[in-house]
Each structure stands twice: as structure tokens, then as C-alpha cells.
Amino acid sequence: MDKDKFFMLEALKEAKKAFDIDEVPVGCVLVHGNRIIARAHNQVEKLTDATAHGEMICLTSGSAHFNDWRLKDTILYTTLEPCIMCSGAIINARVKKVVWAAKDLRVGANGSFIDVFEKKHPIHEVEIESGVLEEISSNLLREFFQKARKSKLNK
């Protein structure tokens, strides 16, 4: 199995954890030197915090790992295209590369809604790879929102 699929499967495990606690199923892992140094999933509802996206929590954990806000030579694997907030944090943290699975048509910041990565940044550029295990991630998201809609109808 190729490296990107291997690490995306790990991010999908995190997304499933979010799904199981009724959070939008987004999961992430941060990799350095082919080793996972941080992992996280969405906790917006649990923490009642709009900034508690999996990517943000993962970046914070990665910074703690290095005891540095600069996450040089790291790769962030995330099951959903990063939003504007997370994309800004990714750039500021100096993440080398982002690999994401499914498009986010509502707030995706790598072209689905807006593309913050297209403009050349004066200090740091992020490599992007998209669509890795997209179908698996999309199916999990679809199942989550179908379940959420049914739950609302039954109230």
C-alpha cells in the first residue's frame, strides 16, 4: 500500500471516532519522518468551540511534540479539504504538505469554495495532494449527515 493511503486510513480512524460521538467525521494525522506524531478528530460539539476542528487540534498536538510552533517537514493528512481557518493555521505553522480526501463544497479552502493556497505566500508554500481515499471519506460524511437528518425528523 502506498504511504499516502496508509496515513489517510489512520486519519479515517480518527474520523470514525468523531462519527461515534456525533461530531462531523473529520480526522487528521500529522506525520514527520514517516511516523505519526499527532492525531485528532473534530470536537466542535463536545468542546462547544467552533475552532475545535481536527486539523487545529492536530497542529496544536504537533507543536507540543516539537515544543515549537514551526511544523517544518511535516505532512498533515486530513479526511476533508481544510476550511479557511485551518488552511491559515497550516500555512502559519509551516506544514510542508497537506493530503486531503473529500471536497468541502461549503467552506473548502483549496478550491471547492475558495483557494487560499493558490496565492504565492511570501514565506512558505504548502504542497497539496487531494482526493486520496475520497470515496471512503465522502461515504462516512454522507452517512453522518443522513443520520443527523433522520434524527431531526424523529424529534
Work out the pLDDT band at 154, boundaries 50, 70, 90: confident
- The model's pLDDT over 24-76, given as tens digits with 9 standing for 90+, comes to 999 999 999 999 999 999 999 999 999 999 999 999 999 999 999 999 999 99
Output the CA–CA distances (angstroms, integers) from residue 144 to 51, 55, 99, 119, 147, in the order listed: 20, 19, 22, 33, 5
What predicted TM-score, i.e. pTM, was given to this entire model?
0.95
Q: Reply yes or no on whether the pLDDT at 1 is more than 80.
A: no
Query: Can you say whether residue 131 is alpha, beta or left, with left for phi > 0 and alpha for psi between -120 and 50 degrees?
Result: left
List 45, 55, 127, 129, catalytic entry: 55
Q: Using CA atoms, how far apart are residues 133 and 135, in angstroms rounded to an integer?
A: 6
Report the pLDDT averaged over residues 102-114: 95
Among this protein's residues, is 55 annotated catalytic?
Answer: yes
Residue 100 confidence class, pLDDT cut points 50, 70, 90: very high
